[in-house]
Amino acid sequence: MGARLSRFRQNTTPFSESLAFSLVTRPYKTTIGAITTRRILYWLAAMVVLLVGGTIIGLIWADTSDVAGAFAGVTNIVSGVGIVLLLIALAVKRRRRPS
């Protein structure tokens, strides 16, 4: 029993080094603060490219193939939602800049 208890004590960390303690002691920080403005702009550009690509596929091949039409529709919806979300993230990021 003593060996098991000593192994247990070796594998545990004190409360001051635990994840719970670090979550309690560090200041509140959101995920949006960790994302850079440049990364948001890159993803925004990628969403615009996806929107243009889906529109081109829709205009060229959607009348001849159901799969191409479905692909164009899905890409347009995903890119539209992505653009809106990224614009909101960009607005929040720019608004929270320290002055």
Coil, strand, or helix at residue 17?
A: helix
Q: Which residue has the higher pLDDT, 11 or 42?
A: 42
CB 58 within 8 A of CB 72: yes
More confident residue, 63 or 97: 63
CB burial of residue 47 (10 Å; 0-12, 13-18, 19+) = buried
Q: Can you read off the two tokens belonging to residue 57? A: 């596929």
What the block records as the tokens of 75 is: 């890409």
Look at residue 41 and tell me whether its pLDDT is greater than 60: yes
* Residue where the block lists tokens 């994302």: 35
pLDDT tens readout for residues 43-80: 999 999 999 988 888 888 877 888 888 888 899 999 99
- How confident is the model at residue 31, as a pLDDT? 63
- CA-CA distance, 69 to 56, in Å (whole number)? 11
**What is the DSSP-derived secondary structure letter of residue 64?**
T
**What SS3 state is found at 99?**
coil
In the 8-state DSSP scheme, what is residue 28?
Answer: P
pLDDT at 17 over 60: no
Quote the pTM value: 0.61
- Which tokens sit at 48? 């615009």
Whole-number pLDDT of residue 19: 59
Tokens representing 66 are 């159901």
